[in-house]
Amino acid sequence: MQENSRWLLATMVFWLPGIFFTSYLGIYEAYQFAEANDIAGIKSNENILIFLIFPAMVPTMITGYTILNRKKNTIDLINKLNKFNENADGQSNKLSTFFLTDGEYERLSIIQKIGYCRDLNRSGNYRLANKYLDNIYNANINSQSTITLAFAHFAKSLIKKSPDLTSEELFFHAEKSFQLYKSEEKDDTYFKIMYNYVLESIHLGYQQSIDIIDNIVLELDQKYQYWHLKLELQKIWLMWRMYPEDVIDFERIQSKMVLQNYTKDQLEELEGIYGRIKKEWLFHNEKYLEFEQLALHRLYLFKWSGKPISPPKSDLARLYRAQGKYEEALEIFNQLLFETRRSKDENFRGICLVNIAKTHVKMENFEKAEEYAQKGIKIFDELNYARGQIECLTVIVNASQQLGLEFVSDKSRLDELIERTGIEADPL
């Protein structure tokens, strides 16, 4: 393409006059036709041959300018398209989310309001969801109704990405809502409250969360096949986090999925947990090609379903880091870190910081690694998020060793957290 463009530039002296001549003839023929048919009152003019030079020069000048500035024009076009795509990506969540007016929202029942907030959370509108959820909690926490009180605690436990609530507090509200509602009918609301309790129980540690799952499964009728499968997947995930060398039988898991029996929402939720297990297993076992294909698939899925695309983009950056493409990884992580300023997502901000720190460890830039890990640990300490604390402390200890800094207190704290929760940092 570049050679063709150079040839075009070199031969301009021959074909530009040709463009001018054919343009001139075309305009002259149009003039004669208009004069002969008395169109627009055009009359004969002896100077017309001179006047037609100027309109004939217009297409000639435009063509010449385009050729001379072809590189700049092409780059400008690419930049405009990139800018459009960035704006489209950034607005995808807003475009795909149906916002209710205040009047419409107030007409909903409590559980419908909570469902609306869950949808807002899934589409990345955390601040609006958190505002509504906090209002639901404050309006109903003093209710004399056990069910309404359960809904109030449930709403509070769904507040995400907020520095105002620690993981311990989120678990408290999730557990409270389940205890208040567990004797009710096994309807959709029951299962949402139950599964939220299971997810938040990770705060206690992997083994304790597994014990909670086992207790729930024992009392759950086999007719609830979908929820048995979902709880089993969550247990497999926790077990694998504890014992990453274990083999996972994905074919057996898939054989249990009767996809035609599930609703669209259920399919999306199954994809979420099954996809997480599959991608992390692929990454751990260095099956990078399959991991990349799955990450790209999830990126497109998240994009077109209106979900935040930060998680799959982070997965791609982790892949680049594992492949030694450190600059590409840092570019994505820094971009995601910048976006957290807008989203106010402190949890994901901490994840970005620790990933940047890990990348600097791989680059043997231990001062930068320690610096970013220290920033991350401040966030995770505020959130009381054990997994994040362990990831950051692991980097801090390793970097401090390399730099000859004191790390005994950090190492002691790291060991205590690992022993209490059963959680260890992911490998680089």
Query: pLDDT for 194-231, tens place per residue?
Result: 999 999 999 999 999 999 999 999 999 999 999 999 99
Mean pLDDT for 170-191 is 96
| Confidence band for 396, pLDDT divided at 50, 70 and 90 | very high
- What is the C-alpha separation between 182 and 188, in angstroms, rounded? 12
* Residue pLDDT, tens place only, 78-119: 444 344 344 444 444 443 445 788 888 888 899 999 999 988
Residue 14 covered by a domain:
yes
In-domain check, residue 302: no
Place of tokens 């509200």: 173
Burial degree of 196 (CB within 10 A; 0-12, 13-18, 19+) = buried
Q: 242 near 206, Cβ under 8 Å?
A: yes
In a domain, 76, yes or no: yes
57 in a domain, yes or no?
yes
Whether the Cβ atoms of residue 370 and residue 406 lie closer than 8 Å to each other: no
For residue 179, tell me if it sits in a domain: no
Cβ neighbours for 185, distance < 8 A, ≥ 6 positions apart: none
Q: pTM of this prediction?
A: 0.70
- What are the CB-based long-range contacts (under 8 Å, 24+) for 289-297? 291/315, 291/319, 292/316, 292/319, 295/319
Task: Answer yes or no: is 203 within a domain.
Answer: no
- Helices 288-304 and 264-284 cross at an angle (nearest 10°) of 150
Residue 50 lies in a domain: yes
For residues 219 and 56, the model is more confident at: 219
Cα 428 to chain center, whole Å? Answer: 21
Domain that holds residue 82: 2-87
140 pLDDT more than 50: yes
Number of folded domains that form the chain: 1
Residue 2 has which token pair?
């570049």
CB atoms within 10 A of CB 362: 14
Name the token pair of 251: 């074919």
Q: What backbone phi and psi angles, to 5 degrees, belong to 107?
A: -80, -10
228 inside domain: no
